[in-house]
């Protein structure tokens, strides 16, 4: 409940009722979460393109990723999940702007028209496509050979979002990540979407967020934390994101 006269935000939940000031960090975070949930249910993220192809991401996630890419300056970005191709073009355009780097996109099935669009794109020289399951040993071997000796290497996991599949991807692809760089398991927001239209109740526990938490507990060579904001003149501290808990930085 938003009371603009009293300038308060009241939340009614099973655990009780809480009220905070409307123009506070706490209110912003509560409103942002509901905005993300409603927007996801209405396919807000289906309304953007990048360099001509659909990019199914929340714009803030792309801006935050851009900050990391500029800081890390990866020689190779590996992304599992090609789908409509826009995210590969996003990565490739940033690397082209910096004058270095290439992108490897992996998908079980790359639609012919998407493959054609990517292969004929001005950024095509920076993109390599691999068709097959991201957890297929043959695919992993091919990616390993393409990244061997390269550095830095950044990995983005955006294919099958089940906890089991993401857990496998983390184990297979984390060894490719160079010190200081990241492996990012996207779409942990599924844990907060399980009760919205178009979602599935099983997402409450079966999601990338759970896989990342378990991986971080087993792998002290990675630190699970949101990358530091490079510009920060605000009391806010949390991303408005589809990727909560997604960021794992290699520290050893």
User: pTM for this structure?
Assistant: 0.96
| pLDDT on residue 90 | 98
* 193 contact partners, CB below 8 Å, separation of at least 6: 37, 40, 41, 199, 203
* % of the chain beyond a pLDDT of 90: 98
At residue 159, does pLDDT exceed 90? Answer: yes
Query: For 182-189, what is the mean pLDDT?
Result: 98
Q: Tell me the average pLDDT across 200-208.
A: 98
Domain boundaries, the chain: 1-42, 46-250
Position 150 scores a pLDDT of 86
Number of H helices and E strands in the chain, helices first, is 7, 12
Cβ neighbors of 1 (< 8 A, separation 6 or more) are 9, 10, 11, 12
The mean of the pLDDT values for the chain is 97
Which pLDDT score, from 0 to 100, does residue 252 have?
87
| 36-62 pLDDT per residue, tens | 999 999 999 999 999 999 999 999 999
Q: What is the pLDDT of residue 58?
A: 98
Distance between CA 184 and CA 239 in Å, rounded?
Answer: 14
Mean pLDDT, rounded, for 151-178: 97
* DSSP 8-class letter at 226: P
- The rounded distance, in Å, linking the Cα atoms of 116 and 119 is 5
Q: In whole angstroms, what is the distance from residue 107 CA to residue 91 CA?
A: 16
Residues 211 and 170: beta-carbon distance below 8 Å: yes
For the stretch 14-44, pLDDT in tens is 899 999 999 999 999 999 999 999 999 999 9
Question: Considering only the top CATH level, what class is 46-250?
Answer: alpha beta
- For residue 57, the model assigns a pLDDT of 97
Band of residue 78 on the pLDDT scale cut at 50, 70, 90: very high
Work out the angle at residue 230's Cα, subtended by the Cα atoms of residues 225 and 235, and round it to the nearest 5 degrees: 80
pLDDT at 5 over 90: yes
Q: Work out the end-to-end distance of the chain between its first and last CA atoms, rounded to an integer number of angstroms.
A: 47
Answer whether residue 187 shows pLDDT above 90.
yes
The mean pLDDT value for 104-114 works out to 98
Instruction: Return d(Cα 160, Cα 217) in angstroms, integer.
Output: 22
């Amino acid at each position: 409940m938003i009371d603009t006269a009293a300038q308060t935000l009241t939340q009614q939940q099973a655990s009780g009722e809480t009220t905070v000031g409307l123009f506070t960090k706490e209110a912003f975070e509560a409103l942002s979460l509901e905005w993300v949930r409603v927007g996801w249910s209405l396919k807000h993220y289906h309304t953007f393109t990048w360099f001509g192809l659909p990019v199914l991401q929340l714009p803030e996630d792309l801006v935050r990723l851009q900050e990391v890419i500029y800081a890390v300056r990866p020689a190779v970005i590996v992304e599992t999940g090609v789908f409509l191709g826009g995210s590969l073009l996003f990565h490739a355009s940033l690397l082209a702007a910096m004058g270095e780097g290439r992108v490897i996109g992996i998908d079980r099935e790359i639609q012919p028209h998407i493959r054609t669009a990517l292969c004929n794109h001005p950024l095509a020289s920076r993109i390599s496509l691999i068709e097959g399951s991201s957890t297929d040993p043959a695919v992993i071997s091919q990616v390993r050979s393409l990244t061997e000796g390269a550095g830095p290497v950044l990995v983005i996991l955006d294919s099958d979002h089940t906890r089991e599949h993401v857990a496998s991807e983390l184990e297979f692809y984390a060894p490719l990540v160079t010190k200081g760089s990241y492996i990012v398991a996207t779409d942990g927001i599924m844990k907060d979407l399980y009760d919205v239209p178009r979602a599935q109740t099983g997402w409450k526990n079966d999601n990338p967020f759970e896989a990342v938490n378990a991986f971080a507990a087993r792998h002290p060579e990675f630190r699970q934390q949101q990358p530091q904001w490079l510009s920060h003149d605000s009391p806010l501290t949390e991303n408005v994101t589809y990727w909560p808990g997604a960021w794992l930085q290699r520290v050893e």
